[in-house]
Structure 1
Amino acid sequence: MRYLPLTDADRAAMLDVIGVPSIDDLFQDVPKSARLSDLVDLPKHQSEQAVERHMGKLSAKSVSAGSVPFFCGAGAYRHHIPATVDHLIQRSEFLTAYTPYQPEVSQGTLMSLFEFQSQVALLTGMDVANASMYDGSTACAEAVVMAHRVARGKKPKAVLAPGLHPHYAAATQTLASTLNIKIDERETRPGRDYNVVEHIDDDTACVVVQSPNVFGEIIDLRPIAEKAHAHKALLIAVFTEPVALAAITPPGEQGADIVVGEGQGLGVGLNFGGPHVGLFACTQKLVRQMPGRVCGETIDANGERGFVLTLSTREQHIRREKATSNICTNSGLCALAFTIHMTLLGEAGITRLAALNHEAACDLADRLEGIDGVELVNETFFNEFTLRLSKPANDVVDALAAKGILGGVPLTRIQPDGDESLLLVCATETNDVEDFAAFAAALKEVLS
């Protein structure tokens, strides 16, 4: 039987405190079209074997990333993950570990998180990093809230550059809408001439710039940082491909105050869209306003190296309503996978990996740009670039998929009102010359 401890009187009392007449009123912000009016149309019951057979047939309709030439990116990237990563994270002491409520007892967990933080700080060129966030988009939203908090609410505006991933912008809009933060968002379009600096003024708490941006363009953050700092605003640098940070000047060296992004590209598979791991780093000056947790290194009573939970700003801890974030856990297992992959690569390895990615993208771009009906939009890129096609990108992608090639992400897939001719294409170390040749031949045929 179901255990329902609340009486109708209990529910009425809670609704009275909240200030709504009924439970249905709690769902007013959910569009009616998205609400279920009845039970989901599924069979009432089936045997386990029948369910497995049915689900297997559904799964067979999908094309896995590793089974065909794969050129999709747009915020989630396919890289080779060494078998060692999966082997280690499945050890029981890691796989079953949860946030330690008596943290100093969990020295192994704290040590791995400390190493993770150190790697993220080095990769981003920042002073300090936290013990991870849910993903890149929520990290971006939390960074804007953090900037608003640093400004003590006196600067209501956050400027979002046009190249920010639309999903990151949407997550930021959602969180900002509850905190009276005014979002000044530019139209998402390719190119580097954003004139973002023209929109920074004394009301600006922060400016958010992605590099490489959603179109793959690499942005010089220095002039934006200079203008932001002149108005006492913070520069939030965003990335979706962590491998890129091994090839371009780290955001911290370009004047960024906060750096956030997605860490999925290292150690974490595509996983059908999640779970992923958000990276969050900032300057030492801002560390006490940073959401999440920070693990630190110390010396124990015996003079031995040890690890502690240095800062913990979660709402479940003593800060309660004064907490800097509602992030109540971290992506610990994914953060560990990131750390193991980074450790296996080392500084020389990740630099070489970044070079391989850039070389692959340059090779592919050269092949595709020569096809009639294809225009390379980018002036610069790392491993992802944007093509303008003579036919709608959605139709082209469907035609390529029918030929066994996953040929990129149409812009309208992540931005429904975007330019339907634009196709986001990514090449990594997992692609070879045979993939490039197959893609070029198929694209030429589809566009002819």
Structure 2
Amino acid sequence: MNVIQKMREDWNRRAKSDANYYVAFAGERQDEEEFLATAAEVVPTLESQFFRLPPASTESRRALDIGCGPGRLMIPMSRHFGEVHGVDISEEMVALARQKLARIPNAHVHVNSGSDLRMFDDGYFDLVYSWIVFQHIPSKEVVLGYLREAQRVLKPGGILVCQLRGLSPIDTELKPGLETWTGCWFSGEELVAFALAEKFSLVFLSGLETQYTVTVFRKRLRSETRPERIVLKDVTAAKNGEPRIPTRGPDAAVSLWLDGFPDDGDLAEFPVLFGGQFQTGCFVSPVSEGGGCQLNAVLPHGIQPGIVPVRLSHGGAPVTVSCEIEVFPAPPRDPKVMRVTDRINPAAHNRIENDGIKVMVQDVEDPAEVSFTVSGRQAGFVLMDCADPITSTYIFGFPTPRGIKKGPNRLTVRVGRRELEAIEIAIL
């Protein structure tokens, strides 16, 4: 059985078993209202990129959902477009989507081959999007093929917004038979290399080295690239426009204010130089008629406090003069528990329904120093994922310790020798 056949078989089985759970992963046997409510966590991310869409009326715009499942995102997205299409490899998922979308006349769903978009003409869509889909495809070549196909079916200036897995799986995810759940993952370097090779402009990049890497690609208008025309006017803190940033944390990012930037210029083609260290940016704005734009980049690891020259580069060499930013020492770390949920149902806050606990802790320097007890019993077999390397946020998961009684319990988190505030949880 090849990878496409395996994907179709597995996702048909999951659709029959509990489609809502496997699509939204927010608890088993969700009712319809609970399931559709999970779209509210995703749609704002998609809508935040609409400012990049080519000018057009709502009625004339078209969008495509790759891996639409039972239509969870198509329902809210249909209000923004004259046509919204969805494709899925699973006939069972598409049948469910047709039921849910029956009263939305501008929504259309299709079973596709599982590796291409051949049913659509070149330049048909303004927006292509995909969420929590590519992370389940076990073949990188299939995922990259979808990205190429998205570029083909987009109009010039149209955008692809998609989530990819940017973190290698833990050992328990690598068991035989889980390939179409664990899927494949991409490094930032691989995404940059793809954008350069395909001339598919990378204009937004976040969540590197996490399970939820978000990318935005823009189909080029085929304008001329003239790096020598670019002028760097200023460099400021991305958060507040100040001339200084800390060495780490969410505020450790700069904005480069540019003139003469090409319409098709992107993050892959124009890395930022901090001193002598190259860094791929995370955001570039649309370019004004005069070539003005804003390009943001996170401060690279290892930059020491002091005055740091910042320049734009192209082809491995600087193309602008430098502007300086002051880098100051970040404040001492202050780890905090951000969230405690059930291991399966992330909507179950401080309520453990399935004999396992997940804890999100922010501002952790060394995750190996984090430990947990529940009502005095030490947690064992703790698994860890990085949720956000910029804020040093990690998600820890572990089984409920043996001997813990149902009902109210106290969760204690320690980071090194420091004990954080205890949290009351209910174990059901």
Q: TM-score, normalised by structure 1?
A: 0.25
Structure whose residues are more often helix by fraction:
1
Q: TM-score, normalised by structure 2?
A: 0.25
Higher RCO (C-alpha under 8 Å, 6+ residues apart): 1
Structure whose residues are more often strand by fraction:
2
